[in-house]
Each structure stands twice: as structure tokens, then as C-alpha cells.
Amino acid sequence: MPSKVPEGESRGWIVPIGGAENKENDRRILSRFLEVSGGRDADVVVIPTASRLHETGSRYERLFQELGAARVTVMDFDTRRDCHEVGRLERLGQASGIFFTGGNQLRLTTLLGGTPVAKVIRTRNAHGVTVGGTSAGASILSEHMIAYGDDGSSAVSGSVRLAPGLGLTNRFVIDQHFRQRDRLGRLLTALAYNPFAVGIGLDEDTAAFIGPDNSLEVEGSGAVTVVDAAEVAFTSMDIVDEGQPICMLGLKMHLLVAGATFNLHTRIASADNLRVHKE
């Protein structure tokens, strides 16, 4: 469950990124991550545990340094024992921004889930620290995480498996590489299990910046697909056999691009600050 925000304080930003964010020409997503993490005073911890590529952590370390972060530390975890080390916990306690790289989200949950590291990250976010991640690092941020599933546009019983995530919030379920890998069906299936959450499908090079006021703003070159299941009148999830399509009535969907917003509390979308890029 999300950590309680102390009286008089505000929760930190939550920043899921759909993967493949621009790292060369237009680094607007990573630049804004630094901005909401303290700007020139940003103290960032990069956690590359989801990836098995040794260069992943050092690449993001270089990127954040080039963008002007005051301090960047790469902190990898190879065993659950690592998650109990006092020095690591203290370093996380100093950070103003914590960033998870892409890879395999189940590697993150199996190594970090239920450990002091996971608790510290939830607590720090409740005290105002920004926590974000890309691809698998985006999926892990919420309480309900898509562990894996089938691609395709139709909701099909048994086509997705959920697992507990990091638990910064229980308001949404995230999927990434959304349009590029045709993942609408598995996001809809995840919502069919329990329509409480809002579904957030993130295209590549696209991020949702979710502020302390629970307002989501889109940044990047793609779109965020928001599926609001709050008014679902019927779902057949409980009566269909595995592998069969699911009937869902009353879904609401929004397609948001840079500058568009969605309030996770009121469930109202807005295009008042839409930014249209022309050639």
C-alpha cells in the first residue's frame, strides 16, 4: 500500500515512461524528470536492476550528469540481501529523485519486493521525492503491476498476469511500449479483473508526469491512452472461459498528447494546455 503522506507535506512526483525515451536529440522527458527532482540541485539514484546489460546504469548516469544533475549514483541489486545494506538505504534517503531503468519488471519485484529498499522508496515518495522509471521501471511503480501478457487489441480472459508492484499508488495500472506493441487488449483485461484502477498505456518516448495533486500531464512525442473503468456497468470476466473474449460495458477512453492532462481524482481530462508540434 502507498505510504501515508505526513501532515503538511506533499507526495513526490511519480513519472512512468513508456520506454525508448529520446536520449540523444530531444531529452525533454529526462530533463523534466530532473526538473521535478530538484533541477540543478537534483540528487539522483539510478536503479538498473531490471536490466541484465552492464552498461545500462552507467548510460543513465552519464545522461543525467550531462543534463546538469548535481549528483548521480548507480545502485544495482543482485540479491535480496543487498536490499538490507544500511549504506544503500542511507543513500536512497539522501536522493531527491529515484529512477528505475527498463528490463524485466519481474526481476525488480522478485529482488526488491517486501524489502527495506522498497519501503524506503515508498516512504521517500510520500515525503516529496520524485520516483520514476522507464519501460519495466514504469510498470513496477503502481500497486497492481502487469507482469506479462499477450499482445493484441482484444480483451481476452487469461491473457494477462498481474503481480504486486512497488506500491507508490493504487490509483492506476501501467502498460508501456503501448501502441508500438499493440497492448490495448492486455490493459483492458487487467481492468476487467477490478475496474477500480485507471489504465495508463504509455507509448514509447512518452511519459506521464503525475503530480502531488494527482493530476497527470503528458510529456514526449507519443500519446498516453487513459482507460477509465469507473463507470463500467458490466464485465463478463467471471463467467467466460480462459482464452475467450471479455465483454465490458461502459468504458471511457482518452488519448492524451503533450500538455494534455487527466485528473486521477476527479477523472476529468483536459486539452487546455495542449502543445502541438508543427514541422
Tens digit of each residue's pLDDT (9 = 90 or more) over 189-214: 999 998 999 999 999 999 999 999 99
How far is the C-alpha of 212 from the C-alpha of 277, rounded, in Å?
27
Instruction: Kindly report the average pLDDT of the chain as a whole number.
Output: 96
How far is the C-alpha of 127 from the C-alpha of 100, rounded, in Å?
19
Q: What is the pLDDT of residues 46-84, one digit of tens each?
A: 999 999 999 999 999 999 999 999 999 999 999 999 999
Q: Is the pLDDT of residue 269 over 60?
A: yes
Give residue 194's pLDDT.
Answer: 85
Statement: the pTM of the whole predicted model exceeds 0.85: yes
How far is the C-alpha of 18 from the C-alpha of 138, rounded, in Å?
7
How far is the C-alpha of 180 from the C-alpha of 164, rounded, in Å?
25
Phi/psi at 90 (5° precision): -65, -40
Q: Give 275's pLDDT tier (boundaries 50, 70, 90).
A: confident
Q: What is the pLDDT of residues 166-194, one digit of tens each?
A: 999 999 999 999 999 999 999 999 999 98
Superfamily name and number for 14-270: Class I glutamine amidotransferase (GATase) domain (3.40.50.880)
Catalytic residues: 135, 177, 204
CB 200 within 8 A of CB 172: yes
How far is the C-alpha of 76 from the C-alpha of 68, rounded, in Å?
22
